[in-house]
Structure 1
Amino acid sequence: KSNITSGATTSHDPPRRIIHQALLNVNKNNGSAVPNYSSNQRTIERRRKKQDIPIPTPITFTDINIPDELRTTNNGDRFLLYDNGDSSRRIIILSPDEDLDRLSNSEHWHCDGTFKACLIITISFVHNYFISYILFTDEDTYGEIFDIILKNLSQRPKSITIDFEKAVENVVRQQLPMTTIGFCFFHFKKALWKQIQTRGLQQLFLENHEARHYLKNFACLTFIPEQFVIIEFERLQADAPDSINGIK
């Protein structure tokens, strides 16, 4: 318990991490004497409130400081792979060697940059392997990220699935020329829906069953062998109701 109360006033770590670190030093035979998580959390909160310890909030990218205890895992292995320290284009890549090995041995990667932790930070990750917090999403940034990751891998993926962001596609084609690129079906459907809205078909889609049926079928073209896509597209176009074909 003394380690928990001490950690409450000497670090800004969240309660869960402080409690976890303290429990690592507890003998298994004494585990039953340790207060439960809720009790320990209240202890930390009371101690911090009493000491009036403010939690620092970064104002600029330069203010983002990763303390030593967050640069390694709980087992002491390296966790911070890369930090360029660039206040104008900050890139932080987090991964222990074990995850790098797992990624290197994976034949198929699935990447996404949709999720946001805040207005300026995008979370990017490869399936089952967290890559980085990136503050900008330009092509140079993606190039730097992939360059660092690939330098730490011994093998290259056979395929990679990405969203429809052109900057990512350009970097992947340049740095992984032998890798097959696939695109995310979820983002493809979002692009179709955006086109439906842009072309004034949203109300028709919502209210007209026949129009909705044909518009949805365009998403199914992704499951057609490549050599037949144009043929099937033209067939859909020919069979579509006039309410759709009349819109350019």
Structure 2
Amino acid sequence: MEKLIESLATGYTFTDKIGETDVKFYITNENHFETPDNTRFEKLEHRRFWKERAANSDDKPRKIINLAERPYEDNVLAQLPSYSADRQAIVREQKRNKPQYPKQPEILSEIEVPDWLKMSLKNEDFLFYDSGPSDMDRLLIFFENEAVPIGYSLLPRKNHIIYVKMLKQLRDGLELYPKSITTDCEKAFINAVEEVFSTSKIFGCYFHFKQSMYLNKALVLPECLAYLPVDDVIDGLNEVKESNAFLMVRE
């Protein structure tokens, strides 16, 4: 048995004087019962879904429309907006909710970090350090202090001086004195680590070590040195250098 919905009466008032309180109310539709309009409900739910998705995600309009698709009945499909209309409405909703980003900077001094980007979603400080627009080698560091703390450094260039400047800010700002540091094979960064964290042990990354072996020819045997005990690495390297198989082309 189909459930009926009770609807209240509707009507209108009429007066020819502004502010008149003694007016007549004309009833156009008294209290009555009617069957629910499933088509209207499906249209509203369709609109609610894509509107919420457009406001809270970076999904493309095509993806949002595909996610909103359901096995609608023919009478519902006939009244749903077209693909083009849905797409335009989603684009408008995304523009309406898009944050007001600053203009694209052309030089370092024009970089402007809005206040709302300086804080995390948990309302904690996210911008850890900014050397300022007057710095010709401007440096920005973002830091997220979660279960696994992660820092993001935006550097103007990669050299020893910039690396030292960045590492000193991390060391002094976080009171950071690590026992060991794992890095790639970039000599400038390794030297900077040795200067700023003189008591820390430095370990190379095996993945980056293997990458550095690829030149015009692939150096295969030196890759095996990573598996030798530390005290045997020098002897192992000498044996590799003396062998005829030092250079091996990887097929």
Tell whether the structures are fold-level matches, with TM greater than 0.5. Answer: yes
Greater helix content: 1
Which residue pairs with 1:20 in the alignment? none
Which residue pairs with 2:156 in the alignment? 135
**Contact 2:128 / 2:142 at 8 angstroms: preserved in 1?**
yes
How many residue pairs get aligned? The number is: 167
Which residue pairs with 1:74 in the alignment? 121
CA offset at residue 131 of structure 1?
A: 2.8
The DSSP-based 3-state class of the residue aligned with 2:214 is helix
* 1:46 maps onto 2:92 in alignment: yes
Q: Deviations over 1:175-194 (max 9, x none)?
A: 21110001122222122112
Q: TM-score, normalised by structure 2?
A: 0.56
CA offset at residue 227 of structure 1?
A: 2.3
Sort the Cα spacing of 1:171 and 1:48 in 2 relative to 1 into closer, same or farther, 3 A: same
The DSSP-based 3-state class of the residue aligned with 1:193 is coil
Q: Structure 1 unaligned runs (5+)?
A: 1-32, 104-127, 206-214
Q: TM-score, normalised by structure 1?
A: 0.56
Task: Give me the whole-angstrom Cα distance separating, in 2, the residues matched to 1:93 and 1:63.
Answer: 17
Identity of aligned residues (%): 25
CA offset at residue 47 of structure 1?
A: 5.4
Q: Structure 2 unaligned runs (5+)?
A: 1-46, 62-88
Task: Give me the whole-angstrom Cα distance separating, in 1, the residues matched to 2:92 and 2:104.
Answer: 21
CA offset at residue 160 of structure 1?
A: 0.2
Larger Rg: 2
The DSSP-based 3-state class of the residue aligned with 2:203 is strand
Task: Give me the whole-angstrom Cα distance separating, in 1, the residues matched to 2:161 and 2:237.
Answer: 36
The DSSP-based 3-state class of the residue aligned with 1:45 is helix
Matched residue type, 2:157: F
Please, which of 178, 203, 224 is the counterpart of residue 182 of structure 1? Answer: 203
Q: Deviations over 1:100-123 (max 9, x none)?
A: xx67xxxxxxxxxxxxxxxxxxxx
CA offset at residue 55 of structure 1?
A: 7.3
Sort the Cα spacing of 1:34 and 1:177 in 2 relative to 1 into closer, same or farther, 3 A: farther
The Cα RMSD (Å) is 3.3
Task: Give me the whole-angstrom Cα distance separating, in 2, the residues matched to 1:132 and 1:138.
Answer: 14
* 1:90 maps onto 2:111 in alignment: no
CA offset at residue 244 of structure 1?
A: 4.4
Please, which of 151, 162, 178 is the counterpart of residue 157 of structure 1? Answer: 178
Sort the Cα spacing of 1:44 and 1:92 in 2 relative to 1 into closer, same or farther, 3 A: farther
**Contact 2:185 / 2:205 at 8 angstroms: preserved in 1?**
yes
Task: Give me the whole-angstrom Cα distance separating, in 2, the residues matched to 1:151 and 1:54.
Answer: 31
Matched residue type, 1:62: S
Matched residue type, 1:46: R
